[in-house]
Amino acid sequence: MVRRTKTEALETRNRLLDAAERLFQTKGVSGTTLADIATAAGATRGAVYHHFRDKAHLFNAMMERVTMPLEASLAEVGQMAPANDDPLRSLRDSMTRALRQTAHDERTRRVFEVATHKVEYTDEMQAVRDRHLQVRNECMAMTRAALREAVQRQGVTLTVPLATAALGLHVMVDGLIQNWLLDPQAFDLVRSGRQTMDTYLHGLGFRLPATTRARPTSRASTRTRAQAVAA
């Protein structure tokens, strides 16, 4: 009985998060109330408050469903075996996975669209801004660590300070995602992202293994990949 109750509670929580995703996307975060979410999920307001303290808490839980895998992927870069793994390759592959998940996973795309274009950092949503800054700072720290390791291994003298190099890479990938969300048909997010990252890293003075360079892709295969949904 206890196990079934926990399962039912988890199902209710996920229904609420699913409803929040759809409503936030269509009405915006400020235009959506917790009562709206409860109604759309076929639940009561009491059920909403049982799982979430307020709208900001619900929003952050919605974000974590899609960002946790991406954050875990980037965290793996800092946990790699020093003697065997290429930090630059690992960093690039991690960011490529983030681009691929954004491009091909409907939930990730929807949630990122909400986070990018549908939310205002009002007093009510201060916890959302805090969460955003925390994730940004953690990602920046892991990116700096990976670039620092790559600098030491390759004996590279960067053309800019390490912190600036990491910031540039982060802003570039973030900007690619934001622009792609405005018009997903404008360019292939994964292919353009890989090419742009390689160009940027090469410009910083890094030597890139041949296997990490973006491969030429026909227009037909690009269209097919853009239409596919990742498993």
What is the rounded CA–CA span in Å between residue 89 and residue 95?
10
Alpha helices in 105-213 (DSSP H): 106-117, 126-154, 162-182, 189-204
**Nearest CA to 211 among 53, 96, 47, 43?**
96
Mean pLDDT of 138-157: 92
The model carries a pTM of: 0.76
**Nearest CA to 32 among 42, 43, 22?**
22
Under 8 Å between Cβ of 65 and 17: yes
pLDDT confidence tier of residue 139, bands split at 50, 70 and 90: confident
Hey, where are the domains in the chain? 1-52, 55-227
The CATH class of the 1-52 domain is mainly alpha
Look at the chain and count its residues: 231
Greater pLDDT, 189 or 228:
189
Assigned fold of 55-227? Tetracycline Repressor; domain 2 (1.10.357)
**Nearest CA to 146 among 209, 100, 91, 184?**
91
**Nearest CA to 143 among 181, 174, 102, 110?**
174
What is the rounded CA–CA span in Å between residue 33 and residue 222?
40
pLDDT confidence tier of residue 223, bands split at 50, 70 and 90: very low
**Nearest CA to 99 among 87, 89, 112?**
112
Under 8 Å between Cβ of 208 and 177: no
What is the reported pLDDT for 67?
76
CA distances from 53 to 103, 182, 191, 220 (A): 31, 31, 40, 48
- Residue 225: pLDDT over 50: no
What is the reported pLDDT for 231?
32
Judge if 1-52 and 55-227 fold alike in CATH terms: no
- Residue 85: pLDDT over 70: yes
